[in-house]
Structure 1
Amino acid sequence: MSQLLEKIDKGHLPRHIAIIMDGNGRWAKEHGQDRLYGHFHGVESVRNIVEGCAELGIGYLTLYAFSTENWDRPQYEVVGLMELLVNTIRKEAEVLHRNNIRLHVIGDLNMLPDYARQELKEALDMTAANTGLNLIMALSYSGRWELLNAVKNIAYEVKSGKLAVEAIDQHTLQRFLCTSDFPDPELMIRTSGEFRISNFLLYQLAYAELYFTNVRWPDFRKENLYEAILDYQSRERRFGKTSEQIVT
């Protein structure tokens, strides 16, 4: 067993981990290849980290796979990413199902091509009854898009008389977010040395512990995940209170 794994307090695990999988393109460039080569190798990291979270008993894992801004990348890369996404889902759906992992997707799925939506639907249906790790893929997603979408839907409810303005509170907003069925992440990991959250889960990360590593995503493995969790477990989570209040 890994020495790092042995150090992890299994009674103090984050219930929900969110990851910005960054660095595929730079990793590929460092290996003298084009960007799609990096994305292809990043799939192995996804497989490894999903397995690691499932083994630990993590309840929810959200992976930032494709942002709304990614549609502006070169056409060949966008097409290649879509093909990789579809092929990966096709190959991995059975594995997820066998391991009792339930797949969810958040984002503006209307922007995805029809064939990608169909593959996603089949994988979602196949794993819908599973009760283990909830794997949430953020596809064609951005935090600002999600908040704008929520505000519009709340406005429609008010306009139609289903919701009074006075009744709108924090829970109302949460109900209209893509993540309404999930707890907020306690730990957010970003790979590849960038120190920003890039329009990812802007509302939900309000009290998350942020962990940044220089490791490129294609090189990120369970040992790196364990390091992030140990760092999380070394922190004091106060939620605006004082240390003394937490102790008492």
Structure 2
Amino acid sequence: MIVIPAIDLKDGQCVRLRQGEMEDATVFSDDPLATAQHWVDQGARRLHLVDLNGAFAGNPVNGEAVNAIAKAFPDLPVQIGGGIRDLKTIERYLDAGVTWAIIGTAAVKNPELVREACREFEGHIIVGLDAKDGLVATEGWAEVSDQQATEMAKRFEDCGVSAIVYTDIARDGMMQGVNVPATVELARAVRVPIIASGGVSSIDDIRELLEAGDIYGAITGRAIYEDKLDLGEAQKLCDEWGK
């Protein structure tokens, strides 16, 4: 399992939200590139970037910061989500050096886009499923659908997506631990690698995910910014697990 630092971008700054509420943002840095460098220095093997403004606007807003990070670390895999609603946006990000584009809202509202993207950009598409009480949310989590996350995930099994990022909105930014049962249930329901997100608050959460098995990666944000979780220590535990 890999541990993936999150860099959430709002108005050009690195922030963390609580349960996706834009009004409840904690600013951790006004220099996204320096933040990326910090996590690289701590041993990050991948970065998870989110354009929060873009998620609400429906198109990239912090693309400049994303492109700068991708350019600065050409050998580091980078995944970006937030405001990706069409093939052109995906193409621009990939051309800038981003490795994976995460389709969230558009995956729910326009599943055919995922299929088209997987055909056009094979190996570079991730689906982001954000759920509240098991139901998928869209538009920067402002809207909750009537679709179960597990059923939605099954729709993309045969599309060729590289992974599914599963976020439990109720846990995100709250430092209350990961929703391991729901994440594992999803991982065992589909053949696509699952990346856990939302609530990773300590090394115990990493250990719990490892013990559960079947999880490809874990995204962490507030915990590493507030020094509740050491990125290097967490990755070392993952590397040594099961040896």
TM bucket (normalised to shorter chain) is 0.3 to 0.5
Larger RCO of the pair (alpha carbons < 8 Å, separation 6+): 1
TM-score by length of 1: 0.37
TM-score by length of 2: 0.38
Q: Which structure's residues are more often strand, by fraction?
A: 2
Q: Which structure's residues are more often helix, by fraction?
A: 1
